[in-house]
Structure 1
Amino acid sequence: MALGILMIVFIVLLVTAVIIQILLYRSKNESNNYVFFMNMLFGVLLSYMAFSALPMNFTGQRVLAIAWGVVAVLAVVVKLTSGKFIMISKIMLSVAIIGGLVQLFL
């Protein structure tokens, strides 16, 4: 029973990631900060979930889990500080979310 619920949570996370990534790359308005913040919060959530799911002695993997959240936050900082690097910040958000999902699922 519990594993079925966990599979449903994983599917919901995957579908949410796909939807917000589509919104990120399809937004016509480049200054749409709402989609960026939504992606950042989702990346930080995935990072926290991957971090808290690992035991204490898996230090390297726990640091990697936190690094995905830091990359997501840095992507938003890069986007807000410089208007020239919008595509790079979108790619950074995508890498953070995909990395967090892969680490959480494996």
Structure 2
Amino acid sequence: MIREILGRLAEGEDLTEGEIRKVMGEIMEGRATSAQIASFLTALRMKGETVEEITGCAKEMLKKALSFDPRTGILVDTCGTGGDKSNTFNISTTVAFVVAGA
């Protein structure tokens, strides 16, 4: 599936939620090569992602995600994903050290 989708993305075609979920399923199940994954993500980014495509990817990743019970008290996430292009200083690593020492 990923091979035919790569051609369509290169032509600038949008994918349906179902189509992109199938591709993401292949990726999440380890059935795509690193080169195919890189090509898919690059082609998708160059075309420009639609809301439907992002939604489909997110739904498929959530379907495959593993949940866990940390069996602890309150958890805090101190980092972001970056890439917001706001030219700000990311202090999440520093925050992690400060919080760990508190």
TM-score normalised by the chain length of structure 2 = 0.28
